[in-house]
Structure formats: C-alpha cells, structure tokens
Amino acid sequence: MVISRNGIVAAESPLAAQAGVAMLERGGTAADAAVAANAMMGLVAPMSNGVGGDLFAIVYEAKSGKLYGLNASGWAPAGLTIEFLKGKGFQAMPQRGIHAVTVPGAVDGWQKLLERFGRKKLAEVLAPAIRAAEEGFPATEMVSGLWAMNVDLLRGNENAAQTYLVSDRPPRVGEIFRNPDLAWAYRQLAAQGRDAFYRGEIARRIVELSKRHGGAMTTKDLVDYSSEWVEPISTTYHDWTVYELPPNGQGIAALEMLNLMENFPLAQFRFNATRTLHVMIEAKKLAYADLLRYIGDPRASQSPLPVAGLLSKDYAKQRAKRIDMDKANCAVEAGDPPRSGGDTIYLSVVDREGNMVSLIQSNYEDFGSGLVADGTGFALQNRGALFSLDPSSPNALAGRKRPLHTIIPAFMQRGDLRIAFGIMGGWNQSQAHAQFVANVVDFKMNIQAALEAPRFTKKTFGGCDVMMECRIPGNVRAELQAKGHIIEVRGVFSSQMGGGQGVARDFAAGVNYGASDPRKDGAAIAELPPEK
C-alpha cells in the first residue's frame, strides 16, 4: 500500500493520479482531484472513458461524516423508442453506432461535484489534461493494446479515425499521442462550464452528428439533462457496512451477494478454498438473476423497484437455501423478493482532511458508439446498448429513460476506518466488489492485497461457465469442476477480472492508504506534505 498522512489519488494511469495530486497540493479537495484525474483519464485511455460517457460517484464528507451519491448517467433521446428502432428494422438493441448513443452525463457530474465539494474552478481542474492533450503523452502498454484491438471500429467513422489513429494505425507503445480536438473541447468547458457541452458548440456538433447518421438525439435532449444526487443503499457484512448506489446501477447485486455469502462461514472455509469459491459463484448467480429480472430506471418504472426486498436479510436467508454445496446450479431463476414502497475506468481519492471520492466513469464498450462529433476529440458512449427491446422488461427502451448500468463505485466502513473502492469491467463489477469485501472482512487483507488476490468472474447470466485466474490452485479448480462448474482458466492477472483502485483512511490515526490493481497501468500516488 501507499501510506501517507496527506492525500492520495489512486487511478488507472500515473498521469491521471499526478493530475489529481497536483490539485491536492494546490489546496484542492478530494473532489477537485477526482475530476482532474478523470479528465486526464479521458485523454490517456480514450477507449474506456471520456466526456462522451457517464459517471457515478460516492462522496464521503469528513466534517459531517455523511455519504452522498451522484448518478450522472444519461437518458435515451426522447425519440429513441422501441417503435422507432423496429421501424428501422431492428429486432434487438443496436450495440454500436448512433442508436446506441445516450446523453453523456459525465460533464454535468463534474460540475455538480465541484460546486458541492470542490474549491477549484473547472478551468484550473482541467488545466493539466489540456496541457497534456496539446503536448502529447506516450501510449502505455495496456492502453496501446486496447487501442490496437479497436482499429476496425475506428476506421468505420472518419472523425474517429482522424482523432485516434496515427497514419491509419493505433499509437505504438511509447509513441507520443496528441489530441488537440479534445484540448479544444476541454477549453470550451473551462470557459463556459457544463453549458458548453449541453447548450453550446459541443452540443451543436453532437446533434449535427446524430442528424447525419439518422439518430434521434436533439438539442432539447441535451439541454434538459441533469444528473442527480441520490442516497446510497447499503447492507452490513459481518461488522462492516458496505455502500453502493441505488438503481439504475447494478450495485444492488453486490449487496445481495454479500447478504447471501454472510449465511456461510467463509472465514472458516478459508481463502481460495473450494467451498468458499463455490458459495461466491452460486451467490453471484442468484443475485444477478434478481438484478436482470427486477432492476431498471426507477424513474421510468410503473411500479416501485423491490430494492428493500432484494436487500432484506430474511430474503437472503431464503435464497441462500438454493445453494447446494455439492452441485453447481446451471439454471438459476430470479426469486420473489418482498415488495415495498467494458470497459470503464475507476479512481478514488482521499485528501488530508479525510474527504473521500469513489468515482467510476465509462464509455461502456471500447470507444463507445465508435462515433466522434466533428472536432470534439472524444467518442460518444454506447450505453444505450444495454436497453432491451422487450416491452415487458424493467429495462425496456423508452425515451428519456436511463438504461440498467454496469458501472458502480463503492464504499465501506467500520468504526474509524473508511474505504473507497471500485473494480471496473462490465458485469464483472458487482461480483468483484463482493470478492474484495470478503478479502478485507473475512480474510483480513489490506486493500492492496485485496485488489491483488486472484478473482473469478462470470460474465454471463445463465449456465455454469466461470472464468478464473490461474493463481487459483489447480486442485481447487478440479474440485469445483467436479461440482459442475465449467472453468475457463485465464492469466495470472487477467484483464477479464477488471481492474480496481482503492483508498482508505484510519480516522483515529489520521493516516491514509492507497492501492492500485496490477491488472491496470495505474498507481496510487501521495501528495507531498504542505509547506508550513
């Protein structure tokens, strides 16, 4: 771990962490640092995030001890409906292109974070990323590899190719890449704030792109958009309280997983033991079946989502009885809870006062829709790909509705300890969060060890397939296969398991901790002590 009495920024790029630390060293807060780091990430890892995507955050305010949630996920254009797409011949939700584009929420989220919890103006916070966009940065190993995997997508859109390809190829490892168009967009934001994106020249260019490709996005869809402050949801896991954001995100599945896992003595089973992994995998299947059956955008639902029921300990106790310790369940169905009223980046920050930000931001799949508006320097997300064209689904497409979201920030606390953490990777995220929490709580790992520990992931909702890193012992994998699990063995630190970051604070000692997942290029970096 990185350990310091001063602030720490943990991000998936050292440049992003340094941009955040620069804000801390200039008297900024954790919120200032988080936005600065996120802006840099949008430059250096453009396939994974950027101002064309969405954002979620959990903020811990040290002086009040209160948690705040921010849902900056965008809605579908008013005219993007099931009927609209079926009229164009679509029988399933498009996964790329203009019809997968929803209103990007990140910029509005940045402004709300800074206005409520920051000390810096947006212009100062964006300055490091603007400078790096103009002067260029060397492409890292992981990012260069991701870039190369998406060449055909980028070549499919003239603006995307001009923005992201160098002589019709991706930048090589160590090659300097510049994005002057993104510097222009950031300067628009620095001068005009969020209105530059939703009302100004950037908005005009987004709408023009939509018209050119036959999309439904209008100026009004952008003008009317606003992110919202939400109350985090939580559960207890033994003597810790774990927080996620409420739907339309998948975080509720992580909490339900933990409630299911709590019915088994995992600490006695031991870390990486056959029984431990079997329980976790089976809990994942049960929780995700409920997620797919019940969760969508609560604002667009005709009846209240059963959030309280899904988080009920009694419901978890009943659902846990479905876990057969001798056999994997390959056909899990959703339960009946009691009713009551891909590519992503994650970063976390703690400042010297103990304020903490857990922030996640994404385009959904690499380079999102694959479309770039003229001269803007960023790809528009394809988050709408997650909608369903089944009218009976809680996640059915409708205008001004937000899709079920994969990206989730998290937070946990016990006594004087606070941990802000997250692990990206599409449907990997809730199950990875639950594994991280178990590593800390059941197996007494520090936050760096908890991130480094071998993980499993099951990206599908049905069947008995599951991926595992090869560091999980061979005899354990064999015993799991004997129970019916179909295991695909991945590498030592596989990108399929996502990558995470975390910061922690011991308020009794006044000491901060930072951690960065080796599955990413990133780092946890501490600020220098302030001059007296």
The residues assigned a catalytic role are 344
178 sits in the region (left: phi over 0; alpha: psi -120 to 50; else beta) called beta
Distance CA 48, CA 210 (A): 21
Distance CA 420, CA 410 (A): 6
Neighbours of 425 (CB within 10 A): 24
CA angle 195, 408, 464 (to 5 degrees): 140
Burial class (CB in 10 A: 0-12, 13-18, 19+), 141: exposed
Burial class (CB in 10 A: 0-12, 13-18, 19+), 349: buried
How far from the centroid of its chain's Cα atoms is residue 273's Cα? 29
Cβ contact 69:46 at 8 Å = no
Does an H or E element contain 176, and which? Answer: strand 176-177
List of residues 6+ apart from 213 with CB closer than 8 A:
97, 98, 371
The 456-457 sheet, strands edge to edge: 456-457, 465-469, 486-490
Cβ contact 241:122 at 8 Å = no
The 511-516 sheet, strands edge to edge: 2-4, 511-516, 500-506, 417-423, 410-414, 240-244, 233-237
Burial class (CB in 10 A: 0-12, 13-18, 19+), 399: middle
In 3D, which of 345, 494, 334, 489 has the Cα closest to residue 426?
Answer: 345
